[in-house]
Amino acid sequence: MIHNIAHRGASAYEPENTLRAFERAIELGATMLELDVHLSQDGHPVVIHDADLSRTTDGIGRVAVLSLAQIKRFDAGLGEQVPALIEVIELARGRAQLYIELKGQDTSEPVVKTLREAAFLDQVVVGSFFPWLPQKVKFLEPAILTSVLIRGEDRQADFIAWALAVEADYVHLCWENVSPTPHKLLTPAMIAGIRQHGLGVLLWHEERPAELHELVQLDVDGICTGTPDLLSDMLQKN
Ligand code: G3P
Ligand code: CA
């Protein structure tokens, strides 16, 4: 089965990383919700992509210097608030899994604590572009599946070794911008080579129908997208 991973929720249709976007994603067929996490000043994992509020809310300032209550005063689009991680867990419980991308350097331990307290350890993948963050997650809680995100610039590097070095379960290839046709960079032989090392394969966020059509034919474990309805249709036809 290929996971239909809603990238920041159904972000093509709703304000990214909001409860509204996650609810819509489930309605449109997502089986996993991708979200980004930073830590608030008072230690809560909060769901926002940037370290600063200004791009996605009507506020300004760094997430790390504001309390959760202060962050929640701002509008994240269409009247939505920036959610705490626990709110997304409760929205998803029994309906979808979560793919938690650690953005803030101090997020590993608070995210593990939140997942433990919520009894949600077996319903997530936790990943990052910073391999030492999922490494810490795996050290703290070996039951949590983890991933290492690989930038397009690093596609020639030995990213399999990077993932193995931190005991990750998946490589997540983020190659959406490195070619007009990124699926051509990912050959079946390359996927087989990754799998030989016991690693799963997750793919970048893709919304172009022609590219999605190619990706669903590959032996991968999940594809990120802002258009989970489109991906859902293609997975059903495939
Ligand atoms: O494709 C995964 C993606 O979430 C990584 O990049 O910038 O959307 O967090 P970004
Ligand atoms: Ca992300």
Residue nearest to ligand 1 atom 6, measured at CA: 174
Q: Which of 16, 17, 34, 48 to mutate to test the pocket of ligand 1 (most atoms within 8 A of CB)?
A: 34
Is 37's C-beta closer than 6 angstroms to any atom of ligand 1?
Answer: no
Flag whether pLDDT at 100 surpasses 90: yes
Average pLDDT over the chain reads 98
Question: What contacts 25, CB < 8 A, 6 or more positions away?
Answer: 6, 9, 10, 33, 96, 228
Per-residue pLDDT tens over the stretch 20-66: 999 999 999 999 999 999 999 999 999 999 999 999 999 999 999 99
In a domain, 26, yes or no: yes
190 found inside a domain: yes
157 lies in a domain?
yes
pLDDT tens string 146-162: 999 999 999 999 999 99
> What's the CA gap between 8 and 18, in Å, rounded?
8
As a whole number of angstroms, the distance between CA 127 and CA 107 comes to 11
pLDDT score, position 118: 98
Determine, yes or no, domain membership for 230: yes
pLDDT value at position 238?
85
**H or E, element range at 172:** strand 170-174
Query: Distance of CA 228 to CAs 34, 113, 153, Å?
Result: 11, 29, 26
User: Is 62 inside a domain boundary?
Assistant: no
Q: What is the DSSP letter of 98?
A: E
Residues paired with residue 47 on neighbouring β-strands, in sequence order: 37
Asked if the structure places residue 99 within a domain, the reply is yes
Number of domains in the chain: 1
d(CA 96, CA 34): 10
Quick one: average pLDDT of 66-79?
A: 98
- Report CA dihedral (219, 233, 33, 203) to the nearest 10 degrees: 30
Give the chain's length: 238
Strand partners of residue 151: 174
| Bridge partner residues of 87 (DSSP) | none
Is residue 189 situated within a structural domain?
yes
Average pLDDT over residues 76-97: 98
CATH number at residue 158: 3.20.20.190
To test ligand 1's pocket by mutation, which of 133, 204, 212, 225 has the most ligand atoms within 8 angstroms of CB? Answer: 204
Backbone angles phi, psi at 206, to 5 degrees: -130, 130
In a domain, 20, yes or no: yes
Residue 125 above 90 pLDDT? yes
Q: How confident is the model at residue 173 (pLDDT cuts 50, 70, 90)?
A: very high
Ligand 1: does its nearest atom lie under 6 Å from the Cβ of 206? no
Backbone angles phi, psi at 205, to 5 degrees: -85, 125
Question: Strand, coil or helix: what is 143?
Answer: coil
State the pLDDT at residue 166: 98
Record the pTM.
Answer: 0.98
Ligand 1 center to 140 CA (angstroms):
24
For 224, the domain range is: 3-50+83-237
pLDDT for the residue numbered 116: 98
Look up residue 154 and give its DSSP letter. Answer: G
Q: What is the mean pLDDT of residues 66-77?
A: 98
